[in-house]
Structure formats: C-alpha cells, structure tokens
Chains A and B, each alone.
Chain A
C-alpha cells in the first residue's frame, strides 16, 4: 500500500483552503465520491444486516399486505412498503443486498484467484500446460457464460454453495490472460528474470515480485468482474434458477415483484434501483482506479 502512495505525486501544503478543495475534487471527482459512498452504504448494510433490518425478512404482517412505500401513500412503519404477504420490503431488500454482495464478493475472489493461478502456471510451465490453459481460455471466451451456467445448473441442480462456485467461474479467463501476459513479459526480459538469475526460488519470484507488480491491474479487473457477477446472479435468480427461496437476493426480489408489477410496482423497483446504482458505482470507481493505477489497461 505504501508503494502506491509514493507513486502518486506528493502533495505540497495548499496555499489556501480553496485551492486545496479544488485539487481534492480534481483527484476525486464528485461522481466517484458518490459512488464510493454508495458502495460504503451497501457494505454497511451487508455487514450489519441482522442489526439494521426493522423486521425479520420472513415475518408476515397480514394486516399490512401490499402497503405502498412512503411517498406513494405509505406509512413510516414500512418505509419501502410491503409485499403480498405483508413482508417488509426494506428488510427483504437489506437481506437481498447482503446475499447479492456476498455472492459477487466470493465469486470475484474465486475468479481472480483461479484465473491468476492458471495464468501464472501457463507462464511458468509453458509447453503443454500453457496449451491446455489457452484452449480453456478460448472455450470460456467463445461461449456466453450465462449458457454454461444454465447447463451446469440443469445437470447438478441448485445449492447455494454450487451457485457461488459457479459464479466464480465467470471471467476467470480475464485474469488468466492478464496474469499470463504480464508474467511472460516479466519473465522474458524484465525484473522477474533478473531476480531468478540472482538465484531466487519461484515462491520469492511470484510472491515478492510478480504478484505485487500485477496486483493493481488485477484489482482494476475485479471492479469489472464484481458488477458483472451481480448482473449475472440477479439475472439467474430473476429466472428462478439462482438463489432459491426462502433465501432472497436482489434478482430474486425483482422476479417476485414482477408478479405484482401492476398493483405493487415498488416491490420490483426498489431492488432494481439498488442493482443499477451498485453496478454503476463500482464501474465508475473502476474507471477512476484504472486511470489512476494503470492507464495501460484497455
């Protein structure tokens, strides 16, 4: 982390407060700050879901079925309204955010680890190992992942663990490609071959040198994968093939709310808005990070 800090131009004391503010907003545009705040809010909701939900997300309130949210004639007790069974939409939304973010987080982590490992293996071993990994990358890139995911779900049935692992297969090939390319160039004429030549073992070469050097590129790629997995997960859950009730996720809620689109559109609009805002925020953050950390990517 300290390495990144030293790469940034060192700021001198601002002459006056106004100029300092200006420079601050040039470095952190308002859009990015808003996106960042939204992501923070989502993280707080996801981590503190149990404390923050006003009701249990499965609790019925049969007296208040299909109650509209505040602003559409609703009352304070159910701020975002209720669904057909009188369950509190806000509580369900918070639990859904937690589920979707957890799935996207682990999915991204699995994809990044697996892809990076395979990419580094391809670069390290070359030859047959590399050929096999390249064919796998080709295959993954030539089929829409949604179709692969659907077939796997058809064959294996659904469970939450399988589903998370499956999401982790999304876009692993991106990390494999990036890490293979960067490791190859580092091995061929760069610092990695220099360190190897000093007598360092593979653990030191990859752990101490190659990974820290490609980390920023990988992190930027993770900001691409994260929203993609949210979209994929919510798409599958929307179709009823992802997260299964009684668990709930954002896509799941939209799918459920679609039945009540004429009578209670808020059930479907609230999670939709969360999906759009979250993917938008992370993409913006990713673009900003890319410009800052790694202008060579794409």
Chain B
C-alpha cells in the first residue's frame, strides 16, 4: 500500500511539473517578454537592462529552472491590472467560488446518486424515464443556457431572485441551482449505468436466487460494487470545485476564481492566468490522488493490479 501511494504521488508530481512546463513553454512561445512588458518604443539599452534584470539573457534551461522554482512557491509576479501579487488575488477568490460550488456539490450528490440508484432498481419505470430524460438534458443543455433560462423565469418573469451580483445571500441561489442541476444529471446517468452493470452480474443473481431478501442484496452486494466506478466521477467533481464554475460565475457576475480567470484572459493579465492555472492543477491533482487512494481502499484487487504498471 505504501508503494502504491508513493507511485500515485510521483504521478501527481509529474502532472504538476507538466502544468508548470506547459505554462513556461506557452509563455515563451507567445512572444518576447521584454517586448510584452516594455512599451514598443522603449530605448534598446533599457530592453537590454530589463533582460538582464529578469535573467532573460541566460540559457533557456536556467530560465526554466528559475521559473519552476518561483512557480512552485506561487510567485508569478504581480497582476498587471492592480499591481498586487497574482497568487493573492487568486487565493482571496477561492472562498467565493467554494461558496457556490460546495452547496452545488451537495445537490449533485444528494440528488444525482439516489436518482441513479432508483432509476436502475426500477428500470423502465416512469421514474427511470424521467431520470434519463433529465440527464440527457443535463448533457445537451450548456450551463449558460440553463443559467439564462433560470434567470428568465425566476428573475425576469417572477422577480423572486436577483439575476446577478453578490450583495445578497439570495444571489447565490441561482448559480448553485445551475451548477447542481447539470452535475446531478450527469451523476445520475453515471450511477444508473454503474448500478445496472452490477445488477447484471452473476453474483447478484446468485444471491437473490438463494433467497436473500432483495433489499439485502442491494445493500450488501450491489451498492458497494457500484460505488467503485461512481467514486471516479465524484472525484472529478471534487477536483473541479474550483475550475468548474467558470461559465456560471461569469453569467451571474459572481466574483470567484472562474470570473477572475475570464477577465484575466480578456485583459491578457498573464501573471494571474498562470496563478489560476496552477491553483486549478493543484486542486485537480489532489482530488485525483484522493480518488486513487480511495479506489485502492474500496477495491484491494486494484491496489496490486494498478501498481504493477
């Protein structure tokens, strides 16, 4: 088990290195940093001095190492907009994002998983059809369309809820519902197919043929086995707690990490973009790590099988 965790950690570290490298390569490919930051008509000696000051005259691998060392301490320089350290800007937005993504995550779990389980248990019933229809909609309706339809109904027509901003606690309701509904639909679809697959297995049929009461078969055999694939998608949802609300935050003008990223991208505020990129990569990698370990714990077979390659 220890070596299993060690190999997962190595992979997580590799992904982070990859993200930092990606940011560095893209940054360098996108143009001469001296030209980007200094104005076009700056005197040549000023540019040379700038290059020296920022280490741009050193070999590229040294620049890369220096960049990576700074990046891993979260130092991406200051935001071009308000001059504050980029990482500070990102960190202060994280709680705002979590304020809508965490409740939405609860909705996904509490709505999606039971709906999927019951749809599978009562296959082809009205409940199953409804779940399938809603989950297909969850896949094909983009979140900004869902958000705008909710705004149209609850803010414009009924006037019950504010359509944007964050001055009021009610402002959070529509973003949470938007995120929660589409996530729940995806989770329900996934849980249903995981459950159906488990229910078709011979050991389930054997157990019920032996006369074990159905509810005990479901609780004792079906649910634990269906949980294993479901954990993966839940893990991905945990990983996207920070990254998954980019569009929804923008629709509702909610001042979270996603909206920060969008405005940084349109302003080409590169320091902030890199800081957001690293923060999101860290959260995804951490979630993947937790899921992998949970997997190993849920399914000891995998612990060995996976560790082998």
Segment of A42-50, A189-197, A261-269 engaged in the interface with chain B: A261-269
Contact A283 B15 (CB under 8 A): no
Query: Which residues of A sit under 8 angstroms from B288, Cβ to Cβ?
Result: 142
Given A143-B19, A144-B240, A152 and B26 contact (CB-CB distance below 8 Å): yes
Query: Which residues of A sit under 8 angstroms from B149, Cβ to Cβ?
Result: 272
Contact A144 B280 (CB under 8 A): yes
Contact A151 B273 (CB under 8 A): yes
Check: B23 CB closer than 8 A to any chain A CB.
yes
C-alpha gap A105/B60 in the complex (Å): 38
Contact B246 A146 (CB under 8 A): yes
Check: B3 CB closer than 8 A to any chain A CB.
no
Check: B307 CB closer than 8 A to any chain A CB.
no
- List which A225-254 residues lie within 8 A (CB) of chain B: 227, 231, 234-235, 238-241, 251, 254
Q: Name the residue on A nearest B288 (C-beta).
A: A142
Contact A239 B148 (CB under 8 A): no
Contact B270 A275 (CB under 8 A): no
Given A235-B247, A275-B142, A240 and B266 contact (CB-CB distance below 8 Å): yes
C-alpha gap A261/B273 in the complex (Å): 30
Q: Name the residue on B nearest A283 (C-beta).
A: B140
C-alpha gap A238/B246 in the complex (Å): 11
Interface residues on B, range: 35 or more
Contact of B26 among A138, A155, A234, A268 (CB under 8 A): A155
Check: A153 CB closer than 8 A to any chain B CB.
yes
Contact B246 A155 (CB under 8 A): no
Determine the main DSSP class of B at the interface with A. helix
C-alpha gap A155/B27 in the complex (Å): 6
Query: Which residues of A sit under 8 angstroms from B148, Cβ to Cβ?
Result: 254, 258, 261, 268, 272
Check: B199 CB closer than 8 A to any chain A CB.
no
Check: A147 CB closer than 8 A to any chain B CB.
yes
C-alpha gap A237/B13 in the complex (Å): 33
Given A142-B288, A241-B265, A147 and B26 contact (CB-CB distance below 8 Å): no
Per-position 1/0 for B272-283, Cβ under 8 A of A: 011011001100
Contact of B140 among A143, A147, A227, A254 (CB under 8 A): A227
Task: Kindly name the residue among B140, B148, B274, B281 whose own CB sees the greatest number of chain A CB atoms within 10 A.
Answer: B140
Determine the main DSSP class of A at the interface with B. helix
Q: How far is the CB of B297 from chain A (nearest CB, A)?
A: 21
C-alpha gap A255/B30 in the complex (Å): 28
Query: Which residues of A sit under 8 angstroms from B265, Cβ to Cβ?
Result: 150-151, 153-154, 241
Check: B251 CB closer than 8 A to any chain A CB.
yes
Contact B250 A239 (CB under 8 A): yes
Q: How far is the CB of B175 from chain A (nearest CB, A)?
A: 15
Contact B273 A283 (CB under 8 A): no
Check: A280 CB closer than 8 A to any chain B CB.
yes
Contact B136 A283 (CB under 8 A): yes
- List which B25-40 residues lie within 8 A (CB) of chain A: 26-27, 29-30
Check: B145 CB closer than 8 A to any chain A CB.
yes
Contact of B284 among A143, A268, A276 (CB under 8 A): A143
Q: How far is the CB of B286 from chain A (nearest CB, A)?
A: 11
C-alpha gap A231/B29 in the complex (Å): 28
Check: A135 CB closer than 8 A to any chain B CB.
yes
Per-position 1/0 for A37-67, Cβ under 8 A of B: 0000000000000000000000000000000
Q: How far is the CB of B133 from chain A (nearest CB, A)?
A: 11
Query: Which residues of A sit under 8 angstroms from B18, Cβ to Cβ?
Result: 135, 139
Given A150-B246, A155-B273, A239 and B262 contact (CB-CB distance below 8 Å): yes
Contact of B145 among A147, A240, A275 (CB under 8 A): A275
Check: A179 CB closer than 8 A to any chain B CB.
no
Contact A144 B243 (CB under 8 A): yes
Contact A241 B262 (CB under 8 A): yes
Check: A108 CB closer than 8 A to any chain B CB.
no
Per-position 1/0 for B209-226, Cβ under 8 A of A: 000000000000000000
Given A144-B243, A261-B148, A154 and B140 contact (CB-CB distance below 8 Å): no
Query: Which residues of B sit under 8 angstroms from A280, Cβ to Cβ?
Result: 136, 140
Contact B145 A144 (CB under 8 A): no
C-alpha gap A59/B239 in the complex (Å): 46
Given A234-B142, A254-B148, A241 and B246 contact (CB-CB distance below 8 Å): no
Contact of A276 among B145, B247, B261 (CB under 8 A): B145
Q: How far is the CB of A284 from chain B (nearest CB, A)?
A: 8
- List which A282-296 residues lie within 8 A (CB) of chain B: 283
Contact B268 A154 (CB under 8 A): yes
C-alpha gap A150/B270 in the complex (Å): 11
Contact A150 B145 (CB under 8 A): no
Q: How far is the CB of B281 from chain A (nearest CB, A)?
A: 6
Q: How far is the CB of B40 from chain A (nearest CB, A)?
A: 16
Check: B69 CB closer than 8 A to any chain A CB.
no
What are 16 A-B pairs with beta-carbon distances under 8 A? A138-B15, A139-B15, A139-B22, A142-B285, A143-B19, A147-B280, A150-B261, A156-B26, A156-B29, A234-B142, A234-B144, A239-B246, A240-B266, A261-B156, A265-B152, A276-B137
Q: A155-B27, A272-B145 are in contact. List 9 more A-B contacts (CB 8 A).
A: A139-B22, A147-B246, A151-B26, A234-B144, A235-B247, A238-B144, A239-B250, A241-B262, A262-B156
For the complex of A and B, the 3 pairs showing the least CB-CB separation, nearest first, are A155-B30, A154-B265, A279-B140
Interface residues of A (CB under 8 A from B): 135, 138-139, 142-144, 146-148, 150-157, 227, 231, 234-235, 238-241, 251, 254-255, 258, 261-262, 265, 268, 272, 275-276, 279-280, 283
